[in-house]
Amino acid sequence: MINWNRLCAMARKEMIQIRRDARSIGIVIAMPIVMMFAFGYGVSFDMKHIPVYVYDQEKSQQSQDFLKRFQASVYFDVVKTVSSYPELVRAIDAGSCQIGIVVPPDFSKKLRSGQKVSVQAIFDGTDSNSASVGMSYTEAVAQAHSQQLQLEWLRGRGQGEVRLPLSVDARTWFNENLESMVTIVPGVVAMVMAVVGTFLTSLTVAREWERGTMEQLISTPVTPLEIMLGKLAPYVVIGLADTSLCAVMAVWWFGVPFRGHIWVFLLSTLLFLVVVLSLGYFFSVVAKTQLAASQVSLIATFLPAFLLSGFMYPIDQMPAVVRGITHAVPARYYMAILRNVFLKGSPVLTIWQDLAGLAIFATVLGLAATRVFRKKLT
Amino acid sequence: MNGAPPTVVVRDLVKRFGDFVAVDNISLEASPGEIFGFLGPNGAGKSTTIRMLCGLLRPTSGQAMVAGLDVAHEPERVRQNIGYMSQKFSLYNDLKVIENLRFFAGMYSVATAELKERIGWAIDMAGLTGREQLLTGTLPAGWKQRLALGCAVLHRPPIVFLDEPTSGVDPISRRLFWELIHRMAVDGVTVFVTTHYMDEAEYCNRLVLIDRGRIVASGSPLELKEKSMAGDLLLVECDQVGKALEELQQAPGVTDAAIFGNALHLVVGSAERAIPEVKEFLAARGIAVTRIERIRPTLEDVFVSLTSLNRDEGDKGDTPAQSGKAAPAGDGGKEKGQ
């Protein structure tokens, strides 16, 4: 049986202590904001403004027309024009450019005579992902230019109306401009809550052991369940406020849409809060010191949420074993739900599995947390 | 006071931590209105016993009934009937005085109708009127201690356990604190208190001396003083106290010798016979005696003679107290607080 008198007294005391503790205030307010900015801007999979050096061996009208296409593209920044190979090699060595484009001296001559022209492109392959993306962009630029040359040639031949037979009319749903920030930011919200939620409660019990107040507390008739609920209740409120703050930042600052139902957002957030707060509480009870508890909680939440939740790497691209492991990472489900709620807003039925996953974790960890605390000294 | 059923009954209580026996077969009873003193050197098992009685530690064996409830089986119901003050100050320093009181009133489910009156009483008792809004951490030790007592008895428990409540508190605050304890006892509360201040032990109705987990003596302070010493106690003032102590430990007829302040206390079989003998013994060794007389033993004498303080350091043997070597008396012994 829960005694409301004790539960409320416990929650009120916890709230006062959070309010008076500068560190807690910092975690509650500053940490979500800083993390939102750090991850929102810091993690980007967009390849834009790739630095390019060009070495135009011909310097003709034609070669310049071709190179201007790179200039015009948002994906490339033609940083510098060099006049020798060694200079280009040095630039790639030093990392001042990721792509070097070399136009041969017989560029326009070959074009005129209808021969095939090879333009050399050198990529810095140390980051294979950027290299392959850069490669396909470069190919696209060359393709477009050849197409234009072809059309001009045909028009010159009197073929006034030339149409290309096939074109892809691409429309990207849910993320119309294909900006990675839009997919990342909802994930960041999940990351922030995983880390902040666990971190907050990881201090709460350990603090009482460290300061010696626990001995007095457990000499009163308060039950372990009342201690846990009383301690977690303020953090549920704080957690909801923090998540809402993150969501508002996502929409108003980062321009992420919010297409789903607010109640799906609130329900999943509540479930996820039960998961992370219980986890932090669990660590706090077991570790008994604030330092150990907070470190364990950071490692146990941050890394899985970062690597195995689908935040950084798509889960369906992972090896089967790792994919299996991701099912044990609660942030995975919340991440999927948040992406849906922000970007898709598709019917709840389509995400019921993720909601069920969260609910299972919330139940198991919540129950575990009620069991772990014993009103005994050791 | 007498005739009422005991509020605390302890039978053969044992607590082991691994191989170490912290509490070794303790039995005792305490009645309503009794101030029950627990006396013993550090590590004797006082705190461990009190913690078991409060249900904070599980006894290894034996039984403890507090307020008629078995501590091992109904710890939560026991806790509604007790107030506990741990050795270390353990209120919330980052809470205001009034917030600590409200919190503990909540923990003990003090009825709303009574809340205002009880908190007012506690503030008044602790002398904190007008300081309700101060952060508890900023209070001097004496006030903190009284506030802690106030918090522990907001629910009017019939039994109160105080684990060294006055350590680190100035003498005036200690005296005030003991007045509070007396007032509670007059109201019929059973007060368990551990201390190693001898003057405080004199305030108790009943004392239990424990050493290495065992009860070595119990009774009223007067009974202890009269019964626990085998023989008479002599006070000796002389020059070269250190040398005299060393010599007297080998002297015939002297069972025990210890330094008290700038004098010596000797335990002898009979004062009449020993006084001339000791004078002669010391004179033969060039030590002049300025004063020698029979005195009534203080609790400190009893304490020293019965506990391991009086034994060889590192002596693990079970031989009882009178093995000869002396050691300085326990702290706080200088002031005789009558």
CA–CA dist A290, A271 (Å, integer): 25
Residue listed under structure tokens 């002596």: B315
Confidence of residue B318 (pLDDT cuts 50, 70, 90): very low
pLDDT at res. B335: 35
pLDDT at res. A358: 95
Q: Per-residue pLDDT for B337 more than 70? A: no
* Tokens read off for A96: 């001042």
Mean pLDDT calculated for residue range A48-63: 88
pLDDT at res. A177: 66
Range(s) for CATH 3.40.50.300 in chain B?
A: 8-224
- Which residues of chain A does B95 touch, with a Cβ-Cβ cutoff of 8 Å? 13, 16-17
- Which residues of chain A does B94 touch, with a Cβ-Cβ cutoff of 8 Å? 16-17, 20-21
| Angle, CA of A85, A86 and A91, to the nearest 5° | 100
Which residues lie below 8 Å from residue A223, measured CB to CB, with a gap of 6+? A2, A3, A6, A375, B76
Nearest Cα residue in chain B from A220: B79
Domain A50-156, classified CATH 3.40.1710.10, yes or no = yes
Nearest Cα residue in chain A from B157: A220
A216 close to B (CB below 8 A): yes
Q: Indicate the SS3 state at residue B201.
A: helix
* Shortest distance, CA A14 to any CA of chain B (angstroms): 10
Of B91, B95, B106, the CB nearest to A216: B91
CA–CA dist A46, A365 (Å, integer): 37
- Tell me the per-residue pLDDT of B228-285, one tens digit each, with 9 for 90 and over: 677 788 889 988 888 888 888 888 888 888 888 788 888 888 888 888 888 889 888 8
CA–CA dist A205, B27 (Å, integer): 35
| Angle, CA of A289, A294 and A299, to the nearest 5° | 130
pLDDT at res. B253: 82
Nearest Cα residue in chain B from A12: B103
pLDDT at res. A27: 85
Confidence of residue B331 (pLDDT cuts 50, 70, 90): very low
- Residues B61 and B80: beta-carbon distance below 8 Å: no
Interface of A with B in 218-247 (CB under 8 A): 218-223
B8-17 sheet: strands from edge to edge: B20-30, B8-17, B61-66, B69-70
| Angle, CA of A353, A239 and A28, to the nearest 5° | 140
Provide the H-helix boundaries in B54-210: 75-80, 97-107, 112-125, 141-152, 171-186, 198-201
Q: By mean pLDDT, which of A111-115, A234-238, B223-227, B332-336 is the weakest? A: B332-336
Fold of B230-296: Alpha-Beta Plaits (3.30.70)
Confidence of residue B334 (pLDDT cuts 50, 70, 90): very low
Q: Per-residue pLDDT for A129 more than 80? A: no
Q: CATH number of the domain at B8-224, please?
A: 3.40.50.300
Range(s) for CATH 3.30.70.100 in chain B?
A: 230-296
Confidence of residue A45 (pLDDT cuts 50, 70, 90): low
Q: Indicate the SS3 state at residue A206.
A: helix
Q: Per-residue pLDDT for B181 more than 50? A: yes
* Shortest distance, CA A286 to any CA of chain B (angstroms): 18
Longest dimension (CA), chain B: 77
Confidence of residue B3 (pLDDT cuts 50, 70, 90): low
pLDDT at res. A44: 66
Which residues lie below 8 Å from residue A344, measured CB to CB, with a gap of 6+? A174, A259, A260
* Shortest distance, CA A353 to any CA of chain B (angstroms): 41
Every domain of chain A and the residues it spans = 4-44+179-372, 50-156
What percent of chain B is predicted at pLDDT more than 90?
A: 44
Mean pLDDT calculated for residue range B300-321: 55
Q: Per-residue pLDDT for B312 more than 50? A: no
Q: How far is CA B72 from CA B19, B56, B95, in A?
A: 22, 10, 32
pLDDT at res. A228: 94
* Shortest distance, CA A230 to any CA of chain B (angstroms): 11
Q: Per-residue pLDDT for B338 more than 50? A: no
Provide the angle, in degrees to the nearest 10, between the axes of the packed helices B141-152 and B171-186.
20
Q: By mean pLDDT, which of A161-175, A177-191, A242-256, A331-345 is the weakest? A: A161-175
What percent of chain A is predicted at pLDDT more than 90?
A: 39
Nearest Cα residue in chain B from A19: B94
Q: Per-residue pLDDT for A48 more than 60? A: yes
Q: What is the DSSP letter of A342?
A: I
CA dihedral A219, A221, A226, A227 (to 10 degrees): -10
CA–CA dist A141, A103 (Å, integer): 14
| Whether A221 and B76 lie within 8 Å, measured CB to CB | yes
Q: How far is CA A74 from CA A46, A48, A184, B113, in A?
A: 11, 6, 21, 73
> What value does the CA radius of gyration of chain A take, rounded to a whole number of Å?
29
Confidence of residue A167 (pLDDT cuts 50, 70, 90): confident
Q: Indicate the SS3 state at residue B85.
A: strand
A10 close to B (CB below 8 A): yes
**Would you say the ipTM is above 0.90?**
no
B22 close to A (CB below 8 A): no
Nearest Cα residue in chain A from B115: A5
| Whether A16 and B95 lie within 8 Å, measured CB to CB | yes
Provide the angle, in degrees to the nearest 10, between the axes of the packed helices B141-152 and B97-107.
20
Mutate to test the interface with A, among B84, B94, B99, B144 (most CBs of A within 10 A): B94
* Tokens read off for A303: 């890394």
* Tokens read off for A72: 């015009």
Pairing of strands A99-103, A120-123: antiparallel
CB-hemisphere CA count at 13 Å for A129?
5
